[in-house]
Structure 1
Amino acid sequence: MIIGIGIDIIEITRIKKTLERQPRFSERILTEKEYKLFNSHSIDERRIEFLAGRFAAKEAYAKAIGTGIGSKLSWKDIEILPNESGKPVLKSNGSWTAFVSISHSKAYVVAQIILESSSS
């Protein structure tokens, strides 16, 4: 049974400008494993897309569980890593299954999260 849906869209230039103003922004948003992936991209545009995608997906997750990012949920409580085929997989301490979709265009990144109850 679906227990939550969240979606977020963000302008890639907004993330780029934030990273230029706050060089440690990526370290605040990304877990250690995500940060390693972020740094593995040699092209700056791809790094910004990656960061924007994780930002949007984490925002979408917070919307799906209904808390937002803040006192109950931090950026690092949510980790999104690719599986062996590249599909993004969300890990959190919630008792549900999360389905993740992240899509990029030239100017935007959109992410959607669907939460399904783990119990039947």
Structure 2
Amino acid sequence: MYIYNIGIDIIERLRVEKLIEKNPDVIRRLCTDDEQKQLAGCTVFERYITACARFFVLKESVMKACGIGWQEGVSWQDISVQNTLQCQTPVLHGQLSVQVGKHAIKKIIANVCGDSSLVAAHAYALSW
């Protein structure tokens, strides 16, 4: 097994908050139905913004790790985030799954962290 590529992304929570306030529909483009249900469970606005930022940076870092750009027909919803007790795991679907297969990527490992102002993620695309 070896690291095919690494993707890193960071965003200010305030930037996400302004984006959502300006265009609330962005959540439907960014998040899968299951992710939107998770967001609906956020009763505190700050937690909602943090969760949105976590989805955004995780998906962006996965795209970078895969070495595939948005212009290749991939959408935000081609990456879904599965929450477990230990971590948030990215699951690939649709066009992204097809493109990743062409690059011999077998597994994606990702991590998200943040504080009151910034949220960051890094993802590793693994091959063997």
5+ residue gaps in structure 2?
A: none
TM-score, reference length from structure 2: 0.86
1:29-50 CA distance string (max 9 Å, x none): 0011111111111111001001
Residue 23 of structure 2 aligns with which residue? 22
Aligned to 2:43: 42
Superposed CA offset, 1:57-86 (max 9, x none): 111111111123334311000011212x24
**CA 1:107–1:97: 2 relative to 1, 3 Å:** same
Contact 1:62 1:73 in 2 (8 A): no
Tell me, which stretches of 5 or more residues in structure 1 are unaligned? none
* Residue correspondences, number: 117
**Contact in 2 for aligned 1:4/1:115 (Cα 8 Å):** yes
**What is the TM-score with the length of structure 1 in the denominator?**
0.91
One-letter identity of the residue aligned with 1:40: G
Which residue in 1 is equivalent to 2:120? Answer: 110
Report the counterpart of residue 11 of structure 1 in structure 2. Answer: 12
Q: Could you say which residue in structure 1 is the equivalent of 2:78?
A: 77
Which portions of structure 1, spanning 4 or more consecutive aligned residues, are displaced by more than 4 angstroms?
none
Look up the SS of the partner of 1:57 in the other structure: helix
Q: Find the counterpart in structure 2 of residue 66 from structure 1.
A: 67
Query: What is the CA–CA distance in structure 2 between the aligned matches of 1:52 and 1:70, rounded to whole Å?
Result: 22
Rounded to whole Å, the distance in 1 between the matches of 2:21 and 2:71 is 23
**Counterpart Cα distance in 1 of 2:78 and 2:10:** 20
Counting aligned pairs with the same residue, the percent is 29
Where does residue 90 of structure 1 map in the other structure?
Answer: 90
